[in-house]
């Protein structure tokens, strides 16, 4: 990872709170009453917790930004003792599990909590913590905890993991002697943290309905999923086994029991009942996410678009430029006149940074393997396209290979390489749509003499690769099917690192209207494919002319900088969460 020591020391976070007109926050959030962020997934390999994708990257970045802004903040998350990696043999992806221990990453054990399971012995969770500035990780684990998202999303083991995170995690907070000032529930798998809080209030004598009113006011449900039906749901019997034995208040058990419909309860329905504040992660997503509460009312999501931790994702030399020219301030917030300053940057000064970026990409690629098991090096004079996204159908990683002659011509005419990466879902094989598409794409590439040399699928996608690819590429391809991307943050990594974005207008990209990108559009798939090739050619042309190139990257950066800024995201959350109490 780059840029970790690029931080300026911030003497007093009061200045940040003042800057966002919430000076009184200093009294609302404290070490004893921290901002608690609950998440099944964190993507922070340096701290030993490596998630699966965007949700985890967001969680990791949110904590990092909180640390930089000296916000008292706790990330409540499981520590998975097995981490999933992917390698490729004969073009077939294979999962490998790598063992991890909290003690290898500076975590300290602070105790144990028991999770009761009906008709089974208790499960004993070990609680570990790690302090990082004003923030800390508080994690729970045990040898049979399993991998992130292992098993069926509505299966027993998943419910066990959710209960361990929520009910176990809340007990861990008590162990530390803290009470959440607010709890942000990063997706519905975290809802049992709130159930635990309710239980505590009821056991202490509060009426169940008063307790619900209280927790609703202190919870934020952050939704990343477009389709409610994709959410986990469990049967009453599963609750009797894993949840109810851990709830002391009969009134609370009775209340939850009353939320079941046809013997099942969807986790989004439970979360919606228990959180007044709800948000989606881009403007488009908040608008289109069609969720209903148990009475059938459509849920209103506030839009708070994801941002990224610029210290983590922007090449240090580029971030230094942004800071020294006052494009961003010491909080990594866009300055007042950032647009003018960006426009005044010379092509030369930013082009040299991209050269440096290419060297960083090659340094990363030296330690990585392509689809044939070889390390790749990109010649200095070549143009680089990147595609780096999880391999799921809606992100359409195969789209640039729909017309092999066309992609070949584009790469040939522009002396270009195409570097792609992205994990496949685990445990899939022939018959799975994404798997078959990947096989088909890689096979076409392998049997073409030119493409075999120019298209590199780098295996075991992770954040180091994501970072190096956004820093070292010239043009990034991002083509989710419109309406399917909740936000996406990899496009932000590209723009922040002066990489031209060729993209459909979806997720966070669509926050701006019109979107200042090389937009891929079309009413049907074939039109979109043609539009994508056209934009790839136009972008490649720009890269041959420094002035045109600079104009485009500056246009994209000045448009998206406020969206990209993770501090802006934190500001939005703080304003949203504390608005009623000012
Ligand atoms: C940034 C990042 C993501 C998020 O990707 P999107 O496709 O934008 O959702 C996922 N995985 C890794 C490793 C990343 O670095």
Q: How high is the pLDDT of residue 526?
A: 98
**String of DSSP letters for 126-168:** EEEEEEETTEEEEEEE-TT---TT-S-TTSHHHHHHHHIIIII
Distance 390 CA to ligand 1 centre (A): 7
Q: How high is the pLDDT of residue 242?
A: 97
CA distance 265 to 267: 6
CA-closest residue to ligand 1 atom 14: 463
Structure tokens at 146: 């399993």
Task: Kindly state the helix (H) or strand (E) to which residue 25 belongs, with its residue range.
Answer: helix 25-28
Distance 191 CA to ligand 1 centre (A): 24
Ligand 1 pocket test, candidate residues 466, 479, 488, most atoms within 8 A of CB: 466
Distance 528 CA to ligand 1 centre (A): 23
* 3-state SS class at 552: helix
Task: Enumerate the H helices of 419-460 as residue ranges.
Answer: 433-446, 449-454
CA-closest residue to ligand 1 atom 15: 463
- Average pLDDT of the residues of the chain: 93
Domains in the chain (CATH in brackets) are 21-307+570-577 (3.40.50.2000), 310-564 (3.40.50.2000)
CA-closest residue to ligand 1 atom 11: 53
Q: How high is the pLDDT of residue 430?
A: 85
Question: What is the maximum span of the chain, computed from C-alpha positions, in angstroms?
Answer: 74
**String of DSSP letters for 7-19:** PPP-S-THHHHHH
- Count of other CB atoms within 10 angstroms of residue 498: 26
Ligand 1 pocket test, candidate residues 56, 388, 497, 566, most atoms within 8 A of CB: 388
CA distance 207 to 451: 67
Distance 55 CA to ligand 1 centre (A): 8
Q: How high is the pLDDT of residue 327?
A: 98
What are the percentages of helix, strand and coil residues in the chain, rounded to 5?
Answer: 45, 20, 35
> pLDDT, tens digit, for every residue of 84-121?
899 998 888 888 999 999 999 999 999 999 999 999 99
Distance 389 CA to ligand 1 centre (A): 6
Q: What percent of the chain has pLDDT above 90?
A: 84
Atom of ligand 1 nearest to the CA of 390: 7
The sign of the dihedral angle between the CA atoms of 254, 259, 264, 267 is: negative
Whole-model pTM above 0.85? Answer: yes
* 3-state SS class at 77: strand
Distances 423 to 88, 225, 367, 391, 439 between C-alpha atoms, Å: 11, 19, 17, 6, 14
CA-closest residue to ligand 1 atom 6: 488
Task: Enumerate the H helices of 299-337 as residue ranges.
Answer: 310-313, 316-324
Ligand 1 pocket test, candidate residues 2, 43, 507, most atoms within 8 A of CB: 43
Distance 355 CA to ligand 1 centre (A): 24
Q: How high is the pLDDT of residue 354?
A: 96
Structure tokens at 359: 């060297």
Q: Is 187 left (phi over 0), alpha (psi -120 to 50) or beta?
A: left
Distance 493 CA to ligand 1 centre (A): 9
CA-closest residue to ligand 1 atom 4: 54
Distance 466 CA to ligand 1 centre (A): 7
Give residues with Cβ within 8 angstroms of 565, minimum separation 6: 307, 310, 328, 332, 333, 334
Atom of ligand 1 nearest to the CA of 467: 15
CA-closest residue to ligand 1 atom 1: 490
Ligand 1 pocket test, candidate residues 1, 3, 49, 57, most atoms within 8 A of CB: 57
Distance 485 CA to ligand 1 centre (A): 12
Distance 301 CA to ligand 1 centre (A): 23
Give residues with Cβ within 8 angstroms of 175, minimum separation 6: 110, 111, 113, 127
Identify the residues whose C-beta falls under 6 Å from ligand 1: 53-54, 57, 389-390, 461-463, 466, 488-490, 493
Q: How high is the pLDDT of residue 21?
A: 63
- Count of other CB atoms within 10 angstroms of residue 151: 14
CB 193, CB 183: distance < 8 Å: yes
Q: How high is the pLDDT of residue 575?
A: 87
Q: Divide the 582 residues of the chain into consecutive groups of 10 and give the mean pLDDT of each group.
A: 37 64 75 96 95 93 95 96 90 90 96 96 97 96 85 91 96 95 96 98 97 96 91 96 98 98 97 97 95 95 98 98 96 95 97 97 98 97 96 93 97 98 83 89 96 97 97 98 95 98 98 97 97 98 97 98 97 84 39
Ligand 1 pocket test, candidate residues 49, 50, 54, 467, most atoms within 8 A of CB: 54
CA-closest residue to ligand 1 atom 7: 389
């Amino acid at each position: 990872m780059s840029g970790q020591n690029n931080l300026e020391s911030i003497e007093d976070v009061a200045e940040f709170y003042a800057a966002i007109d919430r000076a009184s926050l200093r009294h609302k959030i404290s070490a004893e009453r921290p901002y608690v962020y609950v998440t099944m997934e964190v993507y922070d390999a340096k701290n030993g917790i490596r998630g699966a994708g965007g949700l985890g990257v967001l969680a990791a970045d949110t904590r990092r930004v909180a640390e930089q802004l000296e916000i008292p903040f706790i990330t409540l998350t499981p520590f998975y003792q097995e981490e999933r990696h992917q390698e490729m043999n004969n073009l077939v992806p294979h999962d490998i599990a790598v063992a991890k221990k909290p003690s290898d990453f500076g975590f300290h054990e602070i105790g144990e909590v028991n999770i009761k399971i009906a008709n089974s012995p208790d499960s004993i969770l070990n609680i570990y913590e790690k302090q990082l500035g004003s923030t800390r990780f508080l994690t729970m684990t045990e040898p049979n905890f399993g991998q992130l998202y292992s098993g069926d999303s509505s299966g027993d083991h998943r419910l066990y993991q959710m209960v361990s995170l929520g009910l176990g995690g809340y007990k861990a907070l008590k162990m530390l002697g803290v009470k959440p000032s607010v709890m942000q529930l990063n997706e519905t798998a975290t809802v049992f943290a709130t159930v635990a809080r309710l239980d505590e209030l009821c056991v202490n004598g509060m009426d169940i309905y008063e307790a619900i009113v209280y927790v609703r006011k202190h919870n934020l449900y952050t939704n990343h999923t477009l389709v409610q039906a994709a959410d986990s749901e469990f049967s009453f019997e599963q609750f009797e086994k894993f949840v109810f034995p851990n709830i002391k208040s009969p009134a609370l058990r009775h209340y939850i029991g009353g939320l079941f419909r046809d013997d099942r309860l969807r986790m989004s329905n439970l979360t919606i009942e228990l959180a007044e504040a709800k948000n989606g992660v881009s403007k488009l997503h908040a608008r289109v996410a069609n969720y209903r509460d148990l009475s059938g009312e459509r849920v209103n999501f506030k839009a708070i678009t994801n941002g990224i931790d610029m210290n983590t994702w922007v090449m240090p030399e580029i971030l230094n430029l942004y800071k020294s020219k006052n494009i961003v301030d010491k909080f990594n917030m866009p300055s007042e006149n950032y647009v003018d300053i960006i426009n005044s940057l010379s092509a030369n000064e930013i082009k040299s940074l991209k050269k440096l970026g290419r060297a960083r990409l090659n340094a990363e690629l030296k330690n990585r393997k392509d689809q044939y098991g070889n390390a790749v090096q990109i010649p200095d004079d070549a143009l680089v396209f990147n595609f780096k996204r999880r391999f799921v159908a809606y992100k359409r990683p195969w789209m640039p290979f729909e017309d092999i002659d066309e992609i070949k011509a584009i790469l040939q005419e522009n002396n270009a390489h195409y570097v792609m990466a992205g994990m496949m879902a685990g445990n899939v094989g022939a018959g799975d749509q994404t798997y078959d598409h990947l096989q088909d794409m890689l096979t076409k590439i392998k049997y073409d003499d030119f493409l075999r040399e120019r298209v590199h699928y780098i295996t075991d996608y992770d954040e180091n690769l994501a970072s190096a690819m956004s820093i070292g590429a010239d043009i990034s391809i991002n083509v989710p099917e419109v309406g399917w991307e909740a936000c996406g943050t990899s496009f932000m990594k590209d723009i922040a690192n002066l990489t031209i974005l060729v993209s459909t207008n979806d997720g966070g990209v669509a926050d701006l209207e019109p979107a200042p990108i090389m937009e891929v559009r079309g009413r049907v798939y074939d039109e979109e494919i043609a539009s994508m090739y056209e934009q790839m050619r136009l972008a490649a042309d720009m890269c041959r002319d420094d002035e045109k190139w600079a104009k485009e990257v500056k246009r994209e950066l000045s448009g998206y900088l406020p969206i990209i800024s993770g501090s802006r995201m934190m500001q939005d959350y703080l304003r949203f969460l504390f608005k009623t109490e000012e």
